[in-house]
Amino acid sequence: MSVRVSETQRTDVPWLEVSGISKNYGGVHALREANLTIGAGTVHGLVGPNGAGKSTLVKILAGIERPDTGVMRIDGTETILRSPSVAQQHRLVLMPQEISLIPDSNLVDNIVLGSEPTRLGFRMRKQARARASAALEMVGLELALDTRAGDLATVHKRLLMLARAAAERDARLLILDEPTAGLEANEADMVTGTVRRLAAAGVTVVYISHHLTEVAELCDRVTGVREGRTVETLVGSDVAKAELVRLVLGVSKANTDGSVESMHAPTAYRSGDRESIHLDDVCGTRLRNVTVTARSGSVTGITGLLGSGVVELVSVLAGSTAPRSGVVRIDGRQVRLKTPADALALGVGYLAGDRTAAAMTEMTVRENVALAATARLSRWGIISKRREKAECDSVTDRLKVEAGSEAVMSSLSGGNQQRALVGRLIAADVDVLVLDEPTVGVDIHAREALWKAITDVAVDKCVIVASTDPDELVALCDRVVCLLHGEVAAILEKNEISVSAITAAVT
């Protein structure tokens, strides 16, 4: 049963407020005029798909990143958080998703790390142990202070990190990034129970999680983040799982009943009949007996909420992760994909959702496009610049990249960067294109141009699109594979694909 902060403790005073926050990375809009108001003594959730901008917003709140534009206020006073240490001086503390402990040190050393009590330069051991003991009691951990952190169970490591964060400068705001990631249900309950106790004691919490039931039970307010924008904030009784699903998927209230569908019809192309890639009964870390077929001349969508197994399935298709069991076939032949290079050699190309990782931003468009086709464009180990330029011009003309081949990638808009990267896969002469969130971070016009480019490519290729955007799936796909808890919940064929059908399948 949900136990939230009482009405007497909850306040609408905007203790922390950010207005018009924007952040760009090399032309990629990570945040676009985001706004967030956090009242003292509340648990405020942040939800949204991968690449939505949550991580960037959190880094700005924690002083790790500086916004390009916008204002932050603490207690009504405009504040600039130039570094994490400045944020901590304001008693804002981030607990990262990754386990960040010193395994060979004991609990005391891990808790007081960076804020050890000293006198005249000497460590005050008694005070350090007292502080550590109080912090452990705060999170309900009954462990010997001299226990090695590396010997703890994962849930106890999470709680130790939570104790350290709460004890850091007597934290007033805790930012918790996926604090229950990788935990079993009963272990997650231990963490969320601790968060409730901290909130009841007056600590304000920003809570980021893809476990929507957890968010619905724990949070007083929840803000949805999508495509770099803070799109909506739910308050009180509106914080329900169905509404959170709508926020994550970016579906408007008018569209949840399926009465309004995408306005963007794809370019007509033939229905695929040749089986390009097939996964049979594949199991992995988050995958359970997944069977998927993608055909040439068509677009196959893969979707699901965070934690549903979409990331792992894409990783298997791209050759980044080998399945624990099951069979992968390409053009009917059983294969073992151990690396992305193995997949590429067999005609499967992958485009990561993070353009900043996929693009060589200080290289030209020509150089980026040619990266995957070096062997084909060279003779005796020497690359022909003429052939390289001709190849680049061919694919950029086909995909309507609005830049010359000698333009530096960082000078391009997000949409043009993405089209150039799709062009790189075409230049590699792959038969299967695996595109992970291909339109994240681009504006509406660039998104429509990308959709057109993808459907054009699918005339003679097999295209697989992993996306959390239902409108995108409706516009692009001939079939959509919906995952839930690591299993295939539904496979929607062309005449069955709608926003409402996708939303129902992934929840």
CA 46/CA 53 separation, integer angstroms? 10
CA dist 18 to 31, 78, 96, 226, 251, Å? Answer: 12, 9, 21, 17, 25
Which uninterrupted H or E stretch holds 222? Answer: strand 221-226
- Token output for 227: 């495509």
Q: How confident is the model at residue 415 (pLDDT cuts 50, 70, 90)?
A: confident
CA 404/CA 305 separation, integer angstroms? 38
Q: What is the pLDDT of residues 201-233, one digit of tens each?
A: 888 999 998 788 889 999 999 999 988 889 899
CA 452/CA 415 separation, integer angstroms? 12
| The pLDDT value given to residue 117 | 64
Q: What percent of the chain has pLDDT over 90?
A: 26
* Average of per-residue pLDDT across 52-59: 88
| The pLDDT value given to residue 212 | 84
Which uninterrupted H or E stretch holds 20? Answer: strand 14-25
Q: How confident is the model at residue 268 (pLDDT cuts 50, 70, 90)?
A: very low
| The pLDDT value given to residue 270 | 46
CA 38/CA 175 separation, integer angstroms? 12
More confident residue, 347 or 420: 347
Q: Residue with structure tokens 């676009």? A: 32
Whether the CB-CB separation of 108 and 128 falls below 8 Å is answered with yes
Cβ-proximal residues to 191 (8 Å cutoff; 6+ apart), any chain: 155, 158, 159, 162, 179, 180, 183
Q: Residue with structure tokens 């969130």? A: 437
**Two domains, one topology: 16-249 and 275-506:** yes
- Token output for 454: 């993808």
CA 177/CA 98 separation, integer angstroms? 9
Closest Cα partner for 422 from 346, 362, 368, 347?
A: 368
Q: What is the pLDDT of residues 66-105, one digit of tens each?
A: 999 999 999 888 989 989 889 988 989 898 877 888 889 9
- Token output for 24: 């760009």
Domain residue spans of the chain: 16-249, 275-506
| The pLDDT value given to residue 98 | 79
Q: What is the 3-state secondary structure (H, E, C) of 427-471?
A: HCCCCEEEEECCCCCCCHHHHHHHHHHHHHHCCCCEEEEECCCHH
Whether the CB-CB separation of 464 and 313 falls below 8 Å is answered with no
More confident residue, 25 or 126: 126
Per mean pLDDT, which range of 7-21, 56-70, 210-224 is the poorest?
7-21
Closest Cα partner for 474 from 293, 250, 291?
A: 250
Q: Helices 414-427 and 385-398: crossing angle, nearest 10°? A: 120
Tell me, yes or no, if the pTM score tops 0.85. Answer: no
- Token output for 308: 């549903």
Closest Cα partner for 430 from 373, 329, 348, 352?
A: 348
Per mean pLDDT, which range of 39-43, 65-69, 224-228, 361-365 is the poorest?
361-365
Q: Specify the CATH number for 275-506; select among 3.40.50.1100, 3.40.50.300, 3.30.230.70, 3.40.190.10.
A: 3.40.50.300
The count of other CB atoms within 10 Å of the CB of residue 125 is: 12
Whether the CB-CB separation of 320 and 348 falls below 8 Å is answered with no
**What is the CA angle 14-20-21, rounded to 5?**
95
Which of 47-61, 118-132, 147-161, 174-188: highest mean pLDDT?
A: 147-161
- Token output for 351: 């485009």
What sign does the CA torsion over 264, 270, 275, 281 have? positive
Whether the CB-CB separation of 499 and 262 falls below 8 Å is answered with yes
CATH 3.40.50.300 assigned to domain 16-249? The reply is yes
The count of other CB atoms within 10 Å of the CB of residue 140 is: 13
- pLDDT for 262 beyond 50: no
CA 294/CA 378 separation, integer angstroms? 32
